[in-house]
C-alpha cells in the first residue's frame, strides 16, 4: 500500500506544539511517526479519518447533536455548581466558550492540569 508522507506536521497534544513531526499514513490511518515523543506518537496513531463514533452519546446511547445539546442544557440547568472541566486538546476559541459557559451557569472551571 502506498503511504502518504507529511513533513513538519504539528502535534497539539500536550501544548509544546512540536512542529517537526513526520507522519506516514495510509488512506485513513497514521501508521508511523518520526520525531514525536511517545505521547505524540500515540495521539497521532489513534486518531483516524474513520468514522468510529456516533455524533453524540446521551446516557451511553447514540444521539443526535440536537438531542445532546438539549440533554446538556438540562443537566446544566439542574446543576447546583456546574464544573466545566478538561479543555486539553481544544482550541483557544473553544476555551473561550467554555469560560463563557461557566460564567453563564454560575459554575466553576478547571483544566486537567490541576491533577
Ligand atoms: S510530540 Fe510530544 S512533546 Fe511534542 S507536542 Fe506532541 S505530545 Fe507534546
Examine the domain organization and report whether 41 and 60 are in the same domain.
no
Length of the chain: 115
Examine the domain organization and report whether 16 and 65 are in the same domain.
no
Q: In the beta sheet, which residues pair with residue 24?
A: 5, 32
Contacts made by residues 76-80, CB under 8 angstroms, sequence distance 24+: 76/101, 76/105, 76/107, 79/105, 79/107
Confirm whether 35 is domain-assigned. yes
| pLDDT tens, position by position, 25-76 | 998 889 999 999 999 999 999 877 778 889 999 999 999 999 999 999 999 9
Examine the domain organization and report whether 83 and 64 are in the same domain.
yes
In the chain, the number of structural domains is: 2
Examine the domain organization and report whether 74 and 38 are in the same domain.
no
* Ligand 1 centroid from CA 36, angstroms: 6
Confirm whether 50 is domain-assigned. no
Q: What is the pLDDT of residue 70?
A: 97
Confirm whether 84 is domain-assigned. yes
Examine the domain organization and report whether 37 and 63 are in the same domain.
no
Count the alpha carbons within 13 Å of 107 in the hemisphere toward its beta carbon: 19
Domain that holds residue 41: 4-45
Look at ligand 1, atom 8, and give the residue with the nearest C-alpha. 14
| pLDDT tens, position by position, 5-22 | 999 999 988 878 899 999
Taking every pair of C-alpha atoms in the chain, what is the biggest distance, in angstroms?
A: 54
- CB of 11 sitting under 6 A from ligand 1: yes
pLDDT of 114 > 90? The answer is no
What is the model's pTM? 0.57
Examine the domain organization and report whether 30 and 62 are in the same domain.
no
Cβ-proximal residues to 91 (8 Å cutoff; 6+ apart), any chain: none
- CB of 18 sitting under 6 A from ligand 1: yes
Amino acid at each position: 500500500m502506498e503511504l502518504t508522507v507529511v513533513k513538519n506536521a504539528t502535534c497539539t497534544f500536550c501544548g509544546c506544539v512540536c512542529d517537526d513531526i513526520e507522519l506516514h499514513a495510509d488512506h485513513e490511518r497514521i501508521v508511523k511517526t518520526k520525531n514525536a515523543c511517545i505521547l505524540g506518537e500515540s495521539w497521532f496513531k489513534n486518531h483516524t479519518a474513520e468514522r468510529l463514533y456516533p455524533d453524540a452519546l446521551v446516557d451511553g446511547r447514540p444521539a443526535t447533536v440536537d438531542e445532546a445539546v438539549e440533554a446538556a442544557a438540562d443537566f446544566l440547568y439542574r446543576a447546583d455548581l456546574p464544573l466545566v472541566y478538561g479543555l486539553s486538546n481544544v482550541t483557544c476559541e473553544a476555551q473561550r466558550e467554555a469560560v463563557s459557559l461557566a460564567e453563564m451557569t454560575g459554575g466553576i472551571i478547571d483544566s486537567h492540569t490541576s491533577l
